Chains A and B, each alone.
Chain A
Amino acid sequence: MDALLAPVQAFLGPAWLPLWTLAKIVAIAVPVILCVAYLTYAERKVIGYMQVRVGPNRVGPWGLLQPFADVIKMLFKEIVVPSGANRWLFFIAPMLSLAPALAAWAVIPFTGTLVLANIDAGLLYILAMTSVGVYGIILAGWASNSKYAFLGCLRSAAQIVSYEIAMGFALVGVLMSANTLNLSGIVAGQEGGAAYWYVWPLFPLAAVYLISGVAETNRHPFDVAEGESEIVAGFHVEYSGITFALFFLAEYMNMILIAVLTAIMFFGGWLAPWPALNDARLWDWIPVVGGVAPFGDGFFWLAAKVAAVLLVFLWIRATFPRYRYDQIMRLGWKVFIPITLVWIVFVGAMMQTRYAPLFH
Protein backbone atom coordinates (compact mmCIF):
# COMPACT_ATOMS: atom_id res chain seq x y z
CA MET A 1 0.00 0.00 0.00
CA ASP A 2 2.74 2.46 1.02
CA ALA A 3 4.77 1.60 -2.06
CA LEU A 4 1.74 2.37 -4.22
CA LEU A 5 1.07 5.68 -2.50
CA ALA A 6 4.66 7.01 -2.49
CA PRO A 7 4.68 8.31 -6.12
CA VAL A 8 1.28 9.94 -5.61
CA GLN A 9 2.61 11.63 -2.48
CA ALA A 10 5.67 12.89 -4.36
CA PHE A 11 3.49 14.19 -7.19
CA LEU A 12 1.07 16.10 -4.95
CA GLY A 13 3.71 17.60 -2.63
CA PRO A 14 2.24 19.87 0.08
CA ALA A 15 -1.31 19.14 -1.08
CA TRP A 16 -0.81 15.49 -0.12
CA LEU A 17 -1.74 15.73 3.57
CA PRO A 18 -5.09 17.51 3.16
CA LEU A 19 -6.06 15.30 0.21
CA TRP A 20 -5.08 12.06 1.96
CA THR A 21 -6.98 13.12 5.11
CA LEU A 22 -9.97 13.99 2.94
CA ALA A 23 -9.81 10.51 1.37
CA LYS A 24 -9.79 8.95 4.84
CA ILE A 25 -12.75 11.10 5.93
CA VAL A 26 -14.71 9.97 2.86
CA ALA A 27 -13.74 6.36 3.63
CA ILE A 28 -15.38 6.72 7.05
CA ALA A 29 -18.33 8.97 6.17
CA VAL A 30 -19.66 7.01 3.17
CA PRO A 31 -19.94 3.65 5.02
CA VAL A 32 -21.53 5.47 7.98
CA ILE A 33 -24.14 7.04 5.69
CA LEU A 34 -24.81 3.63 4.09
CA CYS A 35 -25.21 2.20 7.59
CA VAL A 36 -27.77 4.91 8.33
CA ALA A 37 -29.67 3.98 5.16
CA TYR A 38 -29.83 0.33 6.16
CA LEU A 39 -30.56 1.15 9.79
CA THR A 40 -33.79 2.81 8.66
CA TYR A 41 -34.57 -0.33 6.66
CA ALA A 42 -33.67 -2.56 9.63
CA GLU A 43 -35.84 -0.45 11.92
CA ARG A 44 -38.88 -0.82 9.69
CA LYS A 45 -38.29 -4.55 9.19
CA VAL A 46 -37.58 -5.33 12.88
CA ILE A 47 -40.52 -3.32 14.18
CA GLY A 48 -42.62 -4.85 11.42
CA TYR A 49 -41.78 -8.38 12.55
CA MET A 50 -42.32 -7.45 16.20
CA GLN A 51 -45.81 -6.26 15.27
CA VAL A 52 -46.50 -9.32 13.07
CA ARG A 53 -46.19 -7.38 9.81
CA VAL A 54 -43.61 -7.87 7.05
CA GLY A 55 -42.30 -4.30 6.75
CA PRO A 56 -41.07 -2.88 3.42
CA ASN A 57 -40.93 -5.64 0.77
CA ARG A 58 -41.79 -3.99 -2.57
CA VAL A 59 -38.61 -2.21 -3.75
CA GLY A 60 -35.94 -4.73 -4.73
CA PRO A 61 -35.57 -8.23 -3.25
CA TRP A 62 -36.97 -8.31 0.34
CA GLY A 63 -37.39 -4.54 0.04
CA LEU A 64 -33.61 -4.07 0.18
CA LEU A 65 -33.65 -1.03 -2.12
CA GLN A 66 -36.26 0.79 -0.03
CA PRO A 67 -33.74 3.24 1.58
CA PHE A 68 -32.55 4.37 -1.86
CA ALA A 69 -36.11 4.81 -3.06
CA ASP A 70 -36.73 6.98 0.02
CA VAL A 71 -33.62 9.07 -0.58
CA ILE A 72 -34.50 9.68 -4.23
CA LYS A 73 -38.05 10.62 -3.24
CA MET A 74 -36.73 13.10 -0.65
CA LEU A 75 -34.27 14.64 -3.13
CA PHE A 76 -37.01 15.44 -5.61
CA LYS A 77 -39.46 16.94 -3.16
CA GLU A 78 -39.96 20.65 -3.00
CA ILE A 79 -38.45 22.54 -0.07
CA VAL A 80 -41.06 24.87 1.35
CA VAL A 81 -39.91 27.80 3.47
CA PRO A 82 -42.64 29.03 5.83
CA SER A 83 -43.59 32.69 5.54
CA GLY A 84 -41.89 34.80 8.21
CA ALA A 85 -39.17 32.19 8.66
CA ASN A 86 -35.57 33.24 9.07
CA ARG A 87 -34.34 31.87 5.72
CA TRP A 88 -30.63 31.85 6.52
CA LEU A 89 -31.00 29.99 9.83
CA PHE A 90 -33.76 27.80 8.42
CA PHE A 91 -31.33 26.30 5.90
CA ILE A 92 -28.29 26.25 8.15
CA ALA A 93 -30.05 24.36 10.98
CA PRO A 94 -30.13 20.90 9.32
CA MET A 95 -26.45 21.26 8.42
CA LEU A 96 -25.65 22.24 12.02
CA SER A 97 -27.29 19.10 13.30
CA LEU A 98 -25.55 16.85 10.79
CA ALA A 99 -22.03 18.29 11.00
CA PRO A 100 -21.29 17.45 14.68
CA ALA A 101 -22.82 13.99 14.18
CA LEU A 102 -20.29 13.40 11.39
CA ALA A 103 -17.38 15.14 13.15
CA ALA A 104 -17.60 12.88 16.20
CA TRP A 105 -16.63 9.90 14.01
CA ALA A 106 -13.14 11.34 13.60
CA VAL A 107 -11.87 9.88 16.88
CA ILE A 108 -13.71 6.54 16.82
CA PRO A 109 -11.21 3.62 16.75
CA PHE A 110 -12.63 0.85 14.56
CA THR A 111 -9.74 -1.52 15.27
CA GLY A 112 -6.47 -1.22 17.15
CA THR A 113 -4.87 0.59 14.21
CA LEU A 114 -7.78 1.95 12.18
CA VAL A 115 -8.60 5.40 13.54
CA LEU A 116 -8.62 8.78 11.79
CA ALA A 117 -7.40 10.95 14.70
CA ASN A 118 -6.05 9.12 17.73
CA ILE A 119 -6.18 12.16 20.03
CA ASP A 120 -5.51 11.99 23.77
CA ALA A 121 -8.71 13.72 24.84
CA GLY A 122 -10.93 11.56 22.59
CA LEU A 123 -13.62 11.06 25.20
CA LEU A 124 -13.91 14.80 25.85
CA TYR A 125 -14.00 15.48 22.12
CA ILE A 126 -16.93 13.08 21.74
CA LEU A 127 -18.78 14.78 24.60
CA ALA A 128 -18.15 18.21 23.08
CA MET A 129 -19.33 17.17 19.61
CA THR A 130 -22.51 15.46 20.81
CA SER A 131 -23.39 18.53 22.88
CA VAL A 132 -23.00 20.87 19.89
CA GLY A 133 -25.59 18.88 17.89
CA VAL A 134 -28.44 20.47 19.84
CA TYR A 135 -27.96 23.78 17.99
CA GLY A 136 -29.43 22.32 14.82
CA ILE A 137 -32.61 21.43 16.67
CA ILE A 138 -32.91 24.73 18.56
CA LEU A 139 -32.33 26.81 15.44
CA ALA A 140 -34.71 24.68 13.38
CA GLY A 141 -37.44 25.30 15.91
CA TRP A 142 -36.80 29.01 16.21
CA ALA A 143 -36.20 29.79 12.53
CA SER A 144 -39.35 27.97 11.38
CA ASN A 145 -41.61 30.67 12.86
CA SER A 146 -44.07 28.02 13.99
CA LYS A 147 -45.45 27.37 17.47
CA TYR A 148 -45.23 23.59 17.19
CA ALA A 149 -41.64 23.72 16.01
CA PHE A 150 -40.73 26.17 18.77
CA LEU A 151 -42.29 24.01 21.48
CA GLY A 152 -40.45 20.99 20.09
CA CYS A 153 -37.12 22.77 20.09
CA LEU A 154 -37.54 24.02 23.67
CA ARG A 155 -38.40 20.52 24.86
CA SER A 156 -35.48 19.05 23.00
CA ALA A 157 -32.98 21.62 24.27
CA ALA A 158 -33.97 21.14 27.92
CA GLN A 159 -33.93 17.37 27.54
CA ILE A 160 -30.54 17.18 25.86
CA VAL A 161 -28.90 19.55 28.36
CA SER A 162 -30.30 17.49 31.26
CA TYR A 163 -29.28 14.09 29.99
CA GLU A 164 -25.85 15.28 28.95
CA ILE A 165 -24.95 15.64 32.63
CA ALA A 166 -25.83 12.03 33.47
CA MET A 167 -24.01 10.93 30.31
CA GLY A 168 -20.89 12.90 31.24
CA PHE A 169 -20.87 11.41 34.73
CA ALA A 170 -21.21 7.90 33.30
CA LEU A 171 -18.14 8.62 31.19
CA VAL A 172 -16.25 9.83 34.28
CA GLY A 173 -16.55 6.29 35.65
CA VAL A 174 -15.03 4.88 32.45
CA LEU A 175 -12.26 7.47 32.67
CA MET A 176 -11.51 6.43 36.26
CA SER A 177 -11.32 2.76 35.32
CA ALA A 178 -9.29 3.24 32.17
CA ASN A 179 -7.02 6.00 33.50
CA THR A 180 -7.08 7.65 30.08
CA LEU A 181 -9.33 9.77 27.88
CA ASN A 182 -8.01 8.10 24.74
CA LEU A 183 -10.62 5.78 23.20
CA SER A 184 -8.03 3.25 21.97
CA GLY A 185 -6.55 3.25 25.48
CA ILE A 186 -9.99 2.58 26.96
CA VAL A 187 -10.43 -0.49 24.76
CA ALA A 188 -6.88 -1.64 25.53
CA GLY A 189 -7.75 -1.43 29.24
CA GLN A 190 -10.45 -4.08 28.73
CA GLU A 191 -8.07 -6.66 27.25
CA GLY A 192 -8.37 -10.25 28.42
CA GLY A 193 -11.88 -11.37 27.52
CA ALA A 194 -15.48 -10.62 28.41
CA ALA A 195 -14.81 -10.78 32.18
CA TYR A 196 -12.60 -7.68 31.89
CA TRP A 197 -15.13 -5.49 30.11
CA TYR A 198 -16.08 -2.33 31.99
CA VAL A 199 -19.74 -3.21 31.86
CA TRP A 200 -19.33 -5.43 34.96
CA PRO A 201 -17.69 -3.04 37.47
CA LEU A 202 -19.55 -0.05 35.99
CA PHE A 203 -22.90 -1.72 35.34
CA PRO A 204 -25.12 1.13 36.68
CA LEU A 205 -23.11 3.65 34.65
CA ALA A 206 -23.45 1.52 31.50
CA ALA A 207 -27.20 1.32 31.97
CA VAL A 208 -27.47 5.07 32.60
CA TYR A 209 -25.28 5.77 29.56
CA LEU A 210 -27.36 3.62 27.25
CA ILE A 211 -30.68 5.09 28.39
CA SER A 212 -29.31 8.66 28.32
CA GLY A 213 -28.05 7.88 24.83
CA VAL A 214 -31.60 7.06 23.77
CA ALA A 215 -32.76 10.35 25.31
CA GLU A 216 -29.90 12.35 23.75
CA THR A 217 -30.79 11.17 20.28
CA ASN A 218 -34.47 12.09 20.86
CA ARG A 219 -35.44 8.51 20.27
CA HIS A 220 -38.50 6.72 21.49
CA PRO A 221 -39.59 6.61 24.38
CA PHE A 222 -38.03 10.05 24.95
CA ASP A 223 -39.11 11.59 21.63
CA VAL A 224 -41.37 14.29 23.06
CA ALA A 225 -39.41 16.79 20.94
CA GLU A 226 -41.33 15.45 17.95
CA GLY A 227 -44.28 13.95 19.82
CA GLU A 228 -46.70 13.51 16.93
CA SER A 229 -49.75 13.27 19.16
CA GLU A 230 -49.17 16.68 20.79
CA ILE A 231 -47.04 18.94 18.60
CA VAL A 232 -47.37 17.33 15.13
CA ALA A 233 -43.68 16.63 14.41
CA GLY A 234 -41.91 19.01 16.75
CA PHE A 235 -38.87 20.91 15.60
CA HIS A 236 -38.89 19.59 12.01
CA VAL A 237 -42.57 20.09 11.29
CA GLU A 238 -41.84 22.82 8.70
CA TYR A 239 -39.05 20.94 6.94
CA SER A 240 -39.62 18.99 3.76
CA GLY A 241 -37.57 17.16 1.18
CA ILE A 242 -33.86 16.93 1.66
CA THR A 243 -33.75 19.40 4.58
CA PHE A 244 -35.92 16.96 6.54
CA ALA A 245 -33.74 14.07 5.37
CA LEU A 246 -30.69 15.76 6.90
CA PHE A 247 -32.33 15.79 10.36
CA PHE A 248 -33.24 12.16 9.88
CA LEU A 249 -29.68 11.34 8.83
CA ALA A 250 -28.25 13.14 11.87
CA GLU A 251 -30.59 11.34 14.26
CA TYR A 252 -29.72 7.89 12.95
CA MET A 253 -26.02 8.75 12.74
CA ASN A 254 -26.10 9.78 16.40
CA MET A 255 -27.85 6.51 17.19
CA ILE A 256 -25.07 4.50 15.57
CA LEU A 257 -22.50 6.71 17.29
CA ILE A 258 -24.02 6.05 20.73
CA ALA A 259 -24.05 2.32 19.94
CA VAL A 260 -20.39 2.40 18.87
CA LEU A 261 -19.42 4.33 22.01
CA THR A 262 -21.30 1.90 24.23
CA ALA A 263 -19.49 -0.98 22.55
CA ILE A 264 -16.10 0.74 22.91
CA MET A 265 -16.44 1.92 26.49
CA PHE A 266 -18.36 -0.88 28.15
CA PHE A 267 -18.14 -3.94 25.89
CA GLY A 268 -14.50 -4.08 24.87
CA GLY A 269 -14.73 -2.48 21.40
CA TRP A 270 -13.01 -4.61 18.79
CA LEU A 271 -11.83 -7.24 21.32
CA ALA A 272 -13.35 -10.70 21.16
CA PRO A 273 -15.22 -12.00 24.21
CA TRP A 274 -12.69 -14.83 24.36
CA PRO A 275 -9.02 -13.71 23.98
CA ALA A 276 -8.08 -16.65 21.71
CA LEU A 277 -10.57 -15.41 19.09
CA ASN A 278 -8.60 -12.17 18.63
CA ASP A 279 -6.09 -13.94 16.37
CA ALA A 280 -6.49 -12.50 12.86
CA ARG A 281 -5.43 -15.82 11.25
CA LEU A 282 -8.67 -17.40 12.47
CA TRP A 283 -10.67 -15.33 10.00
CA ASP A 284 -8.66 -16.00 6.83
CA TRP A 285 -11.19 -18.56 5.60
CA ILE A 286 -13.91 -15.93 5.13
CA PRO A 287 -14.10 -15.14 1.39
CA VAL A 288 -13.13 -11.69 0.05
CA VAL A 289 -12.81 -9.76 3.33
CA GLY A 290 -11.34 -12.35 5.72
CA GLY A 291 -7.69 -11.55 5.20
CA VAL A 292 -8.06 -7.79 4.63
CA ALA A 293 -6.73 -5.66 7.48
CA PRO A 294 -9.70 -3.91 9.17
CA PHE A 295 -11.93 -6.97 9.13
CA GLY A 296 -9.41 -9.52 10.35
CA ASP A 297 -8.30 -7.16 13.15
CA GLY A 298 -11.51 -7.49 15.07
CA PHE A 299 -13.77 -5.11 13.17
CA PHE A 300 -16.27 -7.98 13.07
CA TRP A 301 -16.55 -7.92 16.84
CA LEU A 302 -17.16 -4.17 17.00
CA ALA A 303 -19.76 -4.43 14.24
CA ALA A 304 -21.53 -7.31 16.00
CA LYS A 305 -21.66 -5.42 19.32
CA VAL A 306 -22.91 -2.26 17.62
CA ALA A 307 -25.61 -4.23 15.82
CA ALA A 308 -26.70 -5.76 19.14
CA VAL A 309 -26.97 -2.35 20.83
CA LEU A 310 -28.88 -0.93 17.84
CA LEU A 311 -31.28 -3.86 18.00
CA VAL A 312 -31.94 -2.92 21.64
CA PHE A 313 -32.75 0.64 20.48
CA LEU A 314 -35.28 -0.66 17.95
CA TRP A 315 -36.70 -3.12 20.45
CA ILE A 316 -37.22 -0.30 22.97
CA ARG A 317 -39.03 1.72 20.33
CA ALA A 318 -41.36 -1.15 19.49
CA THR A 319 -42.09 -1.91 23.14
CA PHE A 320 -42.50 1.15 25.37
CA PRO A 321 -45.08 3.93 25.42
CA ARG A 322 -43.82 7.51 25.31
CA TYR A 323 -42.76 9.21 28.55
CA ARG A 324 -44.54 12.28 29.78
CA TYR A 325 -42.30 15.37 29.76
CA ASP A 326 -42.16 15.88 33.54
CA GLN A 327 -41.35 12.17 33.95
CA ILE A 328 -38.43 12.56 31.54
CA MET A 329 -37.05 15.46 33.58
CA ARG A 330 -37.57 13.56 36.82
CA LEU A 331 -35.77 10.50 35.47
CA GLY A 332 -32.83 12.57 34.29
CA TRP A 333 -32.31 14.80 37.30
CA LYS A 334 -33.63 12.83 40.25
CA VAL A 335 -32.74 9.25 39.26
CA PHE A 336 -29.83 9.12 36.82
CA ILE A 337 -27.62 11.89 38.21
CA PRO A 338 -27.77 10.56 41.81
CA ILE A 339 -27.09 6.99 40.59
CA THR A 340 -24.03 8.06 38.63
CA LEU A 341 -22.71 10.27 41.45
CA VAL A 342 -23.05 7.49 44.04
CA TRP A 343 -21.42 4.95 41.75
CA ILE A 344 -18.49 7.24 40.94
CA VAL A 345 -17.85 7.76 44.68
CA PHE A 346 -18.20 4.01 45.23
CA VAL A 347 -15.74 3.17 42.45
CA GLY A 348 -13.32 5.81 43.74
CA ALA A 349 -13.53 4.43 47.28
CA MET A 350 -13.10 0.82 46.12
CA MET A 351 -10.00 1.81 44.16
CA GLN A 352 -8.32 2.69 47.47
CA THR A 353 -8.92 -0.81 48.84
CA ARG A 354 -7.40 -4.14 47.88
CA TYR A 355 -10.29 -4.76 45.47
CA ALA A 356 -8.93 -2.04 43.19
CA PRO A 357 -7.95 -4.46 40.34
CA LEU A 358 -11.63 -5.39 39.96
CA PHE A 359 -12.37 -1.82 38.90
CA HIS A 360 -9.54 -1.33 36.42
Chain B
Amino acid sequence: MSFESLLFYVFAAILVFAALRVVTTRNPVHAALWLVLSFVTAAGLWLLLGAEFLAIALVLVYVGAVMVLFLFVVMMLDVNFDALRSRIRSHLPVAAVVGAVILAEMALLLVRATRGAGTPPPAAGENTRALGRLLYVDYVYPFEIAAVILLVAIVAAIALTHRRRRDTKHQDPGRQAKVKRADRVRLIDLRSGKP
Protein backbone atom coordinates (compact mmCIF):
# COMPACT_ATOMS: atom_id res chain seq x y z
CA MET B 1 0.00 0.00 0.00
CA SER B 2 1.47 3.31 -1.06
CA PHE B 3 1.59 6.35 1.20
CA GLU B 4 -1.18 8.04 -0.80
CA SER B 5 -3.64 5.18 -0.51
CA LEU B 6 -2.87 4.99 3.23
CA LEU B 7 -3.72 8.71 3.44
CA PHE B 8 -6.90 8.07 1.46
CA TYR B 9 -8.10 5.40 3.88
CA VAL B 10 -7.26 7.52 6.92
CA PHE B 11 -9.15 10.51 5.52
CA ALA B 12 -12.05 8.36 4.35
CA ALA B 13 -12.39 6.74 7.79
CA ILE B 14 -12.36 10.14 9.52
CA LEU B 15 -14.87 11.49 6.98
CA VAL B 16 -17.32 8.63 7.48
CA PHE B 17 -17.02 8.79 11.26
CA ALA B 18 -17.48 12.59 11.33
CA ALA B 19 -20.46 12.42 8.97
CA LEU B 20 -22.08 9.78 11.19
CA ARG B 21 -21.50 11.92 14.27
CA VAL B 22 -23.19 14.89 12.55
CA VAL B 23 -26.50 13.03 12.58
CA THR B 24 -26.08 11.04 15.80
CA THR B 25 -24.78 13.66 18.23
CA ARG B 26 -27.35 15.31 20.49
CA ASN B 27 -25.76 18.75 20.87
CA PRO B 28 -26.35 20.94 17.75
CA VAL B 29 -23.08 22.84 18.26
CA HIS B 30 -21.19 19.56 18.33
CA ALA B 31 -23.04 18.48 15.18
CA ALA B 32 -21.93 21.67 13.39
CA LEU B 33 -18.34 21.05 14.49
CA TRP B 34 -18.42 17.47 13.24
CA LEU B 35 -19.68 18.87 9.93
CA VAL B 36 -16.68 21.20 9.86
CA LEU B 37 -14.39 18.22 10.42
CA SER B 38 -16.05 16.31 7.57
CA PHE B 39 -15.62 19.31 5.24
CA VAL B 40 -11.94 19.55 6.10
CA THR B 41 -11.33 15.85 5.53
CA ALA B 42 -13.29 15.99 2.24
CA ALA B 43 -10.97 18.83 1.20
CA GLY B 44 -8.06 16.57 2.09
CA LEU B 45 -9.46 13.84 -0.17
CA TRP B 46 -9.85 16.31 -3.04
CA LEU B 47 -6.25 17.42 -2.54
CA LEU B 48 -5.18 13.79 -2.91
CA LEU B 49 -7.03 13.74 -6.28
CA GLY B 50 -5.09 16.85 -7.39
CA ALA B 51 -8.13 19.14 -7.27
CA GLU B 52 -6.34 21.77 -5.20
CA PHE B 53 -8.56 24.69 -6.20
CA LEU B 54 -11.76 22.88 -5.22
CA ALA B 55 -10.22 21.66 -1.98
CA ILE B 56 -9.08 25.12 -0.92
CA ALA B 57 -12.37 26.68 -2.07
CA LEU B 58 -14.25 24.15 0.09
CA VAL B 59 -12.25 25.13 3.15
CA LEU B 60 -12.45 28.84 2.32
CA VAL B 61 -16.18 29.02 1.57
CA TYR B 62 -17.78 26.28 3.65
CA VAL B 63 -15.45 26.02 6.64
CA GLY B 64 -14.34 29.64 6.72
CA ALA B 65 -17.64 31.39 6.09
CA VAL B 66 -20.78 29.22 5.87
CA MET B 67 -20.12 27.09 8.93
CA VAL B 68 -19.03 30.10 10.98
CA LEU B 69 -22.45 31.66 10.36
CA PHE B 70 -24.10 28.29 11.03
CA LEU B 71 -22.34 28.04 14.39
CA PHE B 72 -23.21 31.65 15.07
CA VAL B 73 -26.91 30.89 14.61
CA VAL B 74 -26.89 27.50 16.34
CA MET B 75 -25.16 28.92 19.43
CA MET B 76 -27.81 31.59 19.81
CA LEU B 77 -30.82 29.35 19.13
CA ASP B 78 -32.98 28.64 22.10
CA VAL B 79 -34.71 25.52 20.88
CA ASN B 80 -35.52 22.44 22.87
CA PHE B 81 -34.03 19.79 20.62
CA ASP B 82 -35.41 16.86 22.59
CA ALA B 83 -38.93 18.14 21.91
CA LEU B 84 -38.12 18.31 18.20
CA ARG B 85 -36.69 14.82 18.31
CA SER B 86 -39.89 13.34 19.73
CA ARG B 87 -41.64 14.03 16.42
CA ILE B 88 -39.10 11.97 14.49
CA ARG B 89 -41.59 9.13 14.01
CA SER B 90 -44.01 11.29 12.01
CA HIS B 91 -41.19 12.58 9.76
CA LEU B 92 -39.76 9.14 9.18
CA PRO B 93 -41.66 8.20 5.95
CA VAL B 94 -40.73 11.44 4.11
CA ALA B 95 -37.13 11.24 5.32
CA ALA B 96 -36.92 7.60 4.20
CA VAL B 97 -38.15 8.49 0.67
CA VAL B 98 -35.70 11.40 0.32
CA GLY B 99 -32.86 9.27 1.66
CA ALA B 100 -33.68 6.45 -0.75
CA VAL B 101 -33.74 8.82 -3.74
CA ILE B 102 -30.36 10.34 -2.80
CA LEU B 103 -28.90 6.86 -2.26
CA ALA B 104 -30.17 5.70 -5.68
CA GLU B 105 -28.71 8.78 -7.40
CA MET B 106 -25.32 8.29 -5.79
CA ALA B 107 -25.35 4.58 -6.66
CA LEU B 108 -26.06 5.45 -10.31
CA LEU B 109 -23.16 7.92 -10.36
CA LEU B 110 -20.82 5.35 -8.81
CA VAL B 111 -21.82 2.69 -11.33
CA ARG B 112 -21.18 5.14 -14.15
CA ALA B 113 -17.80 6.13 -12.69
CA THR B 114 -16.60 2.54 -12.29
CA ARG B 115 -17.41 1.83 -15.95
CA GLY B 116 -14.94 4.57 -16.91
CA ALA B 117 -17.45 6.88 -18.58
CA GLY B 118 -16.37 9.95 -16.58
CA THR B 119 -14.25 12.72 -18.07
CA PRO B 120 -10.57 12.60 -17.14
CA PRO B 121 -9.48 15.27 -14.63
CA PRO B 122 -7.23 18.09 -15.92
CA ALA B 123 -3.53 17.99 -15.16
CA ALA B 124 -2.76 18.65 -11.50
CA GLY B 125 -1.62 22.14 -10.62
CA GLU B 126 -3.27 23.76 -13.62
CA ASN B 127 -6.85 23.25 -12.50
CA THR B 128 -7.35 26.80 -11.16
CA ARG B 129 -6.65 28.14 -14.65
CA ALA B 130 -8.74 25.40 -16.30
CA LEU B 131 -11.71 26.05 -13.99
CA GLY B 132 -11.45 29.79 -14.57
CA ARG B 133 -11.46 29.31 -18.32
CA LEU B 134 -14.49 27.00 -18.15
CA LEU B 135 -16.49 29.29 -15.86
CA TYR B 136 -15.63 32.66 -17.38
CA VAL B 137 -15.19 31.77 -21.06
CA ASP B 138 -17.09 28.62 -22.03
CA TYR B 139 -19.98 28.88 -19.60
CA VAL B 140 -19.92 32.59 -18.83
CA TYR B 141 -23.66 33.22 -19.42
CA PRO B 142 -25.02 30.34 -17.30
CA PHE B 143 -22.50 31.29 -14.61
CA GLU B 144 -23.48 34.96 -14.58
CA ILE B 145 -27.20 34.08 -14.64
CA ALA B 146 -26.68 31.83 -11.62
CA ALA B 147 -24.88 34.69 -9.88
CA VAL B 148 -27.75 37.09 -10.59
CA ILE B 149 -30.29 34.56 -9.29
CA LEU B 150 -28.29 34.27 -6.07
CA LEU B 151 -28.18 38.06 -5.77
CA VAL B 152 -31.94 38.23 -6.22
CA ALA B 153 -32.33 35.60 -3.51
CA ILE B 154 -30.14 37.63 -1.13
CA VAL B 155 -32.06 40.85 -1.78
CA ALA B 156 -35.39 39.01 -1.44
CA ALA B 157 -34.37 37.43 1.87
CA ILE B 158 -33.36 40.80 3.27
CA ALA B 159 -36.47 42.51 1.93
CA LEU B 160 -38.71 39.85 3.47
CA THR B 161 -37.13 39.80 6.89
CA HIS B 162 -35.95 43.36 7.36
CA ARG B 163 -38.17 45.43 9.58
CA ARG B 164 -37.56 48.83 10.95
CA ARG B 165 -37.97 48.92 14.68
CA ARG B 166 -39.82 51.91 16.01
CA ASP B 167 -38.44 51.81 19.53
CA THR B 168 -34.77 52.36 18.66
CA LYS B 169 -33.17 55.65 19.63
CA HIS B 170 -31.70 56.28 16.23
CA GLN B 171 -29.61 59.42 15.74
CA ASP B 172 -29.65 61.38 12.50
CA PRO B 173 -26.35 63.31 12.29
CA GLY B 174 -27.75 65.61 9.62
CA ARG B 175 -30.60 66.73 11.86
CA GLN B 176 -28.24 67.06 14.81
CA ALA B 177 -25.98 69.37 12.82
CA LYS B 178 -28.87 71.51 11.58
CA VAL B 179 -30.16 72.32 15.07
CA LYS B 180 -30.19 76.03 15.85
CA ARG B 181 -30.00 77.62 19.22
CA ALA B 182 -33.60 78.75 18.96
CA ASP B 183 -34.77 75.08 18.67
CA ARG B 184 -33.30 74.04 21.99
CA VAL B 185 -32.97 77.04 24.26
CA ARG B 186 -35.86 79.13 25.48
CA LEU B 187 -35.04 82.21 27.46
CA ILE B 188 -37.65 83.13 29.97
CA ASP B 189 -37.80 86.18 32.08
CA LEU B 190 -37.84 85.15 35.71
CA ARG B 191 -38.74 87.89 38.10
CA SER B 192 -37.55 87.67 41.63
CA GLY B 193 -40.37 87.87 44.07
CA LYS B 194 -41.14 87.45 47.68
CA PRO B 195 -40.98 83.87 48.89
Q: Given that A120-B52, A142-B75 are contacting pairs, would A131 and B128 also be in contact in the complex, using a CB cutoff of 8 Å?
A: no
Closest chain A CB from B33 CB (angstroms): 8
B-facing residues in A76-131 (Cβ within 8 Å): 89, 119-121, 124-125, 127-128, 131
B53 touches A124 (CB 8 A): yes
Asked whether any CB of chain A lies closer than 8 Å to the CB of B68, the reply is yes
Q: In the docked arrangement, what's the CA distance between A158 and B73, Å? A: 11
**Which secondary structure dominates chain A's binding surface?**
helix
Closest chain A CB from B43 CB (angstroms): 9
What mask results when residues 55 to 90 of chain B are scored 1 for a CB within 8 Å of chain A, else 0? 011011001110011011001100000000000000
Asked whether any CB of chain A lies closer than 8 Å to the CB of B125, the reply is yes
Closest chain A CB from B148 CB (angstroms): 16
B128 touches A121 (CB 8 A): yes
Tell me which residues across on chain A come within 8 A of B71, comparing CB atoms.
138, 142, 157
Chain A interface size, as a band, is 20 to 34
Tell me which residues across on chain B come within 8 A of A160, comparing CB atoms.
68
A121 touches B63 (CB 8 A): no
Tell me which residues across on chain B come within 8 A of A214, comparing CB atoms.
none
Asked whether any CB of chain B lies closer than 8 Å to the CB of A134, the reply is yes
Tell me which residues across on chain B come within 8 A of A132, comparing CB atoms.
59, 63-64
Asked whether any CB of chain B lies closer than 8 Å to the CB of A297, the reply is no
A157 touches B68 (CB 8 A): yes
What mask results when residues 174 to 188 of chain B are scored 1 for a CB within 8 Å of chain A, else 0? 000000000000000
Closest chain A CB from B124 CB (angstroms): 9
Q: In the docked arrangement, what's the CA distance between A131 and B69, Å? A: 12
Tell me which residues across on chain A come within 8 A of B57, comparing CB atoms.
124
B72 touches A121 (CB 8 A): no
What mask results when residues 137 to 162 of chain A are scored 1 for a CB within 8 Å of chain B, else 0? 01100100000001000100110110
Which of the residues B56, B64, B72 comes within 8 Å of A164, measured between beta carbons? B64
Asked whether any CB of chain B lies closer than 8 Å to the CB of A186, the reply is no
Asked whether any CB of chain A lies closer than 8 Å to the CB of B36, the reply is yes
A120 touches B125 (CB 8 A): yes
B65 touches A125 (CB 8 A): no
Tell me which residues across on chain B come within 8 A of A154, comparing CB atoms.
72, 75-76
What mask results when residues 3 to 19 of chain A are scored 1 for a CB within 8 Å of chain B, else 0? 00000000000100000
B75 touches A161 (CB 8 A): no
Which of the residues A14, A121, A135 comes within 8 Å of B52, measured between beta carbons? A121
A120 touches B128 (CB 8 A): yes
A/B interface sample: 22 pairs, CB < 8 A: A14-B3, A120-B125, A120-B126, A121-B52, A121-B56, A121-B128, A124-B56, A124-B128, A125-B56, A127-B60, A127-B64, A131-B64, A132-B64, A135-B36, A138-B68, A138-B71, A142-B71, A142-B75, A150-B75, A154-B72, A154-B75, A158-B72
Known: A120-B126, A132-B64, A160-B68. 10 other contacts (CB 8 A): A89-B33, A120-B52, A121-B52, A127-B60, A128-B60, A131-B64, A131-B65, A131-B68, A135-B68, A164-B64
B residues with a Cβ closer than 8 A to A are 3, 29, 33, 36, 52-53, 56-57, 59-60, 63-65, 68-69, 71-72, 75-76, 125-126, 128
Q: Which 7 A-B pairs have the closest CB atoms?
A: A131-B64, A128-B60, A128-B59, A124-B56, A128-B56, A120-B125, A121-B52
